A and B are shown apart, each in its own frame.
Chain A
C-alpha cells in the first residue's frame, strides 16, 4: 500500500466498502497488520468524527478496517456509502496523512517478575535469555495500540520483539489481576481488569486503566503508543 494521499476512491488501492447487517458499514483497507493500514483507519475515523453526521452512531476502528454504525432511519445504506466514499476520496485534498493522527503516548510503570510477573522466568527460559534481558527488550520499545477489544480497555499492541515471543499457558488462569502485563505468541498486552487469562504474565502495573466514572474511561486509547517502564515497586 502507498500512503493514503495517493488514493482516489476508485483506484486499485481503494478500500472495500461493504454492509455489516442493516445498521453498519465496514470500510476495509486491507487484510494485514501494518502501521500504514492502521493509520489510514484512524485517519478516516477522524474525518468522519469531524463532520458529526447525526446518522453515524458509533465508530469501531480495528487493525485494518473501520466499522461505522449508523441509524438507517436517519440515512439509508446508499446515502452512507456515498457519504463515506466522498470522505475517503477527499483524503488527498485535506492533506490528512499519518503524521496528522495524534500519537498519544501512555507510559505504564511496571513491576516485572516476582508475584507481579509469575511467568517471567518461563518466558526467559523459552527465549534462552536472562529475565533481565527479557525486561530490557520488553520495555525498550513503544507499542502501537492497533485496536481495543476483547474486554473494556484491553489493547491489542503491535511491535513485540520476536525474541521474547512465547506460547500461551497450557491451562489458562481462572483470574489474572488487573494491570497484569502479558505475552501470548507474538503479542503483548495488559489486562485492564481482573479476568480469566491464558497469557504469560511477566509484570504488573498499578495504574488504573479503565474507570467508568471518567468521561474518557480508558487510559489507553485506540491509536496511542504504550511504553512499559520498569520500576522496583508500586509506590
Chain B
C-alpha cells in the first residue's frame, strides 16, 4: 500500500453502488496467522491493468463492482480507467471502452450497465482511492469489518477521497490491452466452460482414485451460493476414502479447493477465512485465479492438472506481460488547431469477444477524452469540423 497525496475535496461520489461495490487493492497480507483474511480484488489482473493504465502503482486501491449497475460522480477533473467485465460503461452518456485511460471533467457521471458476461468490473482512478489503510491495506473485508470505508461495502451517497498524481503520467495518448483472447492471464469474461488449472493436494490422499477422476473429468457448475469468499460448485460427488471429509483444521490459500461433507467442491477466493477443516483436493494456479473472480453462476469449470514448474513459469510470464503494458497510438486521427492548442480526434480499434469495435477519442494536452461523432448527411460535410465533435 502506498501513501497517497490527498487534496481536500477531491472525491468520487457513489450515486448508486450496484449489487456490491467495495474498495479493493491486492489484499491484506502478513496477518493470516492472526486470522485476518487477505481479501483484495477477486480479479487481480483487471485491477492491475486499470491501475497501470492511469499511472498508479499496480497494487493501488480501486473500486470493484459486482455485475455493474453502478453510478459514480467525479468532483474534479480526473483520469480513470475501467477494466474487467464489459458493462457498456458511459461517461456523461458517451460510450467507453475497457482498458483505455480517459479523462472525466468535474461533475461528470460514470455509469456502468449490467454485465452480460463476466462478473466484476474495476475502476482505477489516477492518484488512487484514499480510504484509510488498515493493517497495510485498503481492501474491504465486510465479514470482519476491516478496510474500505468503515469496513463496509459502499452505499449511495458515500464520498471517497482520491489522491493526486504528481508528474507520473501514463505515457502516450492511451493504452490498449487485449481483454479476452489470452488464455494465460487476461481476464476471461466468457460465459460458458472455462478451463482451470490446478496443482493437486495437499490432501488428495483423502480421496479415492474414482473421486480424483470425478474431480478432473467432470465439469463443475458455479452455483448462485457463491460470493467473494468462495465459489460453491454443483456437480458429481467426489468420493473420499473414509466417507469423512473433515481434517484437523489447517491453513488455506487463495484457490484452495476444499471438499466438504456433501462431496461438492468449494474454491476459496479473496475473502476466504485463513483456516479450514475440510480436506483440500487441489489448489488453483495463480494465473487462473482472476478467471474465478469473473466466473458467474452457471459457468462450468473444468479442472486439469499442471506441474508446479509450469504454473510458476506462467506466473513469471504474467509479470512480464503486465510490466510490458505500453501505449498504442490512434489508428486514424486528424489533428486540428483550436485557439493555438493541438487537438487530435481519431479512432482506434480494439478486440473484444471476437469482434472488433471502434472507439472514438479526442486528445487535448495529452489527456484522452471519450467523444461521440455525429454522422452528418453528405450535403452538410463542409460544416463537419465546426459541429461534429461533442464532448
Interface residues of A (CB under 8 A from B): 18-24, 26, 28, 31-33, 57-65, 67, 69, 72-73, 76-77, 147-154, 156, 193, 210, 212, 217-218, 221-222
Tell me if B250 and A62 are in contact (CB < 8 A).
yes
Q: How far is the CB of B322 from chain A (nearest CB, A)?
A: 12
Residues of B within 8 A of A28 (CB): 202, 250
Q: Which of B135, B251, B285 sits near A212, CB closer than 8 Å? A: B135
Q: Which residue among B29, B30, B34 has the maximum number of chain A CB atoms within 10 Å of its CB?
A: B34
Distance to closest chain A CB from B58 (angstroms): 13
A212 touches B134 (CB 8 A): yes
Chain B, residues 166-199, CB within 8 Å of chain A (1/0): the string is: 0000000000000000000000000000000001
Q: Which residue of A lies closest to B277 (CB)?
A: A149
A150 to B229, CA, bound (A): 12
Q: Which of B's residues lie within 8 Å of A, judged by CB?
A: 29-37, 134-135, 143-146, 199, 201-202, 247-256, 273-275, 280, 283-286, 308-309, 311-312, 315-316, 319
Q: Are A148 and B253 in contact (CB under 8 A)?
A: no
A20 touches B201 (CB 8 A): yes
Indicate if the CB atoms of B29 and A67 lie closer than 8 Å: no
B249 touches A76 (CB 8 A): no
Check A73/B319 contact, CB under 8 A, given A149-B274, A154-B35.
yes
User: Across chains A and B, which 4 residue pairs bring their CB atoms closest together, nearest first?
Assistant: A149-B275, A21-B283, A67-B251, A22-B311
A-B contact pairs, 8 of them (CB 8 A): A22-B308, A60-B33, A60-B275, A65-B250, A69-B29, A150-B35, A217-B36, A218-B35
Could you say which of A57, A61, A72 has the most chain B C-beta atoms within 10 Å of its C-beta? A72
A150 touches B253 (CB 8 A): no
CB atoms of A149 and B144 under 8 A apart? no
Q: How far is the CB of A205 from chain B (nearest CB, A)?
A: 17
A58-B30 contact, Cβ under 8 Å, with A67-B251, A151-B273, A193-B145: yes
Contact status of A19 and B135, CB under 8 A, knowing A62-B249, A77-B309, A147-B275: no
Q: Provide the residues of chain B in CB contact with A154, threshold 8 Å.
A: 35
CA separation between A59 and B30, bound complex, in Å? 8
Pair A21/B35 contact, Cβ less than 8 Å: no
The chain A residue sitting closest to B273, CB to CB, is A150
A116 to B199, CA, bound (A): 47
Also in contact, A26 and B250, with CB within 8 A (given A148-B34, A218-B34): yes
Question: B residues within 8 A CB of A57?
Answer: 29-30
CA gap between A100 and B323 in the complex, in Å: 45
User: Which residue of B has the minimal Cβ distance to A222?
Assistant: B33
Min CB–CB distance B163 → chain A (angstroms): 21
* Contact residues in A for B280 (Cβ distance below 8 Å): 20
Cross-chain contact B248 with A32 (CB below 8 angstroms): yes
Residues of chain B contacted by A193 (CB below 8 angstroms): 144-145
A167 to B164, CA, bound (A): 55
Contacts of B247 in A (CB 8 A): 31
- Do B202 and A19 have beta carbons less than 8 Å apart? yes
Chain A residues positioned under 8 Å from B143 (CB to CB): 151
Q: Which listed residue (B29, B249, B285) contacts A147, Cβ 8 A?
A: B249
- Tell me, in angstroms, the Cα distance from A212 to B30 when the chains sit together: 13
